[in-house]
Chain A
Amino acid sequence: MYAQMIKTVSSGVKSRDEMSDEERAFQDKIDRDIKIEPRDWMPEDYRKTLIRQIGQHAHSEVVGQLPEGNWITRAPTLERKAILLAKVQDEAGHGLYLYSSAETLGITRDEMIELLHEGRMKYSSIFNYPTLNWADIGAVGWLVDGAAIINQVALQRTSYGPYSRAMIRICKEESFHARQGYHAIMKMAFGTPEQKRQAQDAVNRLWFPALMMFGPSDAESVHSEQSMAWKIKVKSNDELRRQFVDQTVPQIEYLGLDLPDPEIKWNEERGHYDFSDPDWKEFFDVIKGNGPCNVDRMKNRKEAWEDGAWVRDGLLAHARKRAAAKVAAE
């Protein structure tokens, strides 16, 4: 779960000579791997870009609960249901860690949620794909969380202290997600022919959307130079994607499933797998809001927010009443 295609707020990377004294001191700290903390001086563009990135990452955690929540009531066993519940609960926690770190940059959680609901902030494209059968839940944990881990492990070294600490905590919890997913899909792949067919179908459908999670190809990522200099992006999209493919192909082979892309082939010379690009037209289409589930996801998010308003209001009213009674008693 994470951010993709963040438009960096910047007018281009400045050379040291073009920087003000404050900017130079800031960049020096980053170059020396000293974390930037909330009350430190930071360029306005750094702050704005981070709000976008961490906010989108937080939204992804929360919206990411929807495709999985879809299967909680239909999990095949009580144990799988408890595991899935625990996983989805983790995602809510991850959302909270990330909203909290974004809040240190001077935006409130409510403001970010409002921006999401107005369509002015995004979440990862992957959650706009449906989870059609139980094997999809296995594939989501294994492939989607697997892809997220690769990105998030790199981001543990990001320059902004609160974001880095959130990533460290999330990574500790995330490997449970990937492993429970692989475990679930192993059961399917080694099960009846029908179960195996469903596992294959899930891998076929989710493979390219998972590759898209890393964002457009490096040639298309026009904004990454500044984000790299600020160390809020640590590795390039293509580098992370390649790492994911190298890690995942043997896992597909172990399951005895067909590779979802006929072009996947070990390249001895490069020491990596060759593979096909995802359909980038589809990617940009999904980002624009035209994926299979964009409308549903946003409708569910807004409903949850609006239908839950009376609970939030009630809790606040109760807290105020009790506080007033306490003051009166004193």
Chain B
Amino acid sequence: MSHRHVGSLHAPDAEMAVKNARDVYTRRNEGVSIWVVEARHITATAPGDKGPMFEPSESKVYRHPTFFDIPEEVGHM
């Protein structure tokens, strides 16, 4: 199940954080499961580093299966 960041909140402990997250971020049936993490435990890349971090993958098109032409006779692969 892939989780997506939906927002921040304040809570005295993890248990209350889950309760608050339920109240605040699942009022429109968005809820399936909730993860809460203390902000101080997150290590993140800087948005400014987007280029050096992620651009190298752009030049490696051979990582995608469509890079390779497989003859039709071989069938589905």
Contacts and interface: CB of A to CB of B under 8 A. Distances in A.
B47 A323 contact: no
A213 B14 CA distance: 39
B27 A90 contact: yes
Given A89-B27, A93-B24, A93-B27, A100 B9 contact: yes
B52 interface: no
B12 A318 contact: yes
Chain A residues touching B, majority SS: helix
B7 interface: yes
B13 interface: yes
Contacts of B25: 93
Given A90-B27, A93-B27, A100-B7, A316 B47 contact: no
A27 to B, nearest CB: 16
A37 B44 CA distance: 13
A109 B10 contact: yes
Nearest to A90: B27
A40 B28 CA distance: 32
The interface size bin for chain A is 20 to 34
Contacts of B10: 109
Contacts of B28: 172-173
B24 A96 contact: yes
Given A89-B27, A93-B24, A40 B7 contact: no
B16 A319 contact: yes
B7 A319 contact: no
Contact of B47 (A40, A96, A169): A40
A96 B16 contact: no
A39 B47 contact: yes
A92 B16 CA distance: 17
Given A93-B27, A100-B8, A322 B47 contact: no
Interface string A49-87: 000000000000000000000000000000000000010
A96 B21 CA distance: 11
A173 B10 CA distance: 21
Interface string B1-29: 00000011110110010000001110110
Interface of B: 7-10, 12-13, 16, 23-25, 27-28, 46-48
20 contacts: A39-B48, A40-B48, A89-B27, A93-B23, A93-B24, A93-B27, A96-B7, A96-B9, A100-B7, A100-B9, A103-B8, A172-B28, A173-B27, A173-B28, A312-B12, A318-B12, A319-B12, A319-B13, A322-B13, A323-B13
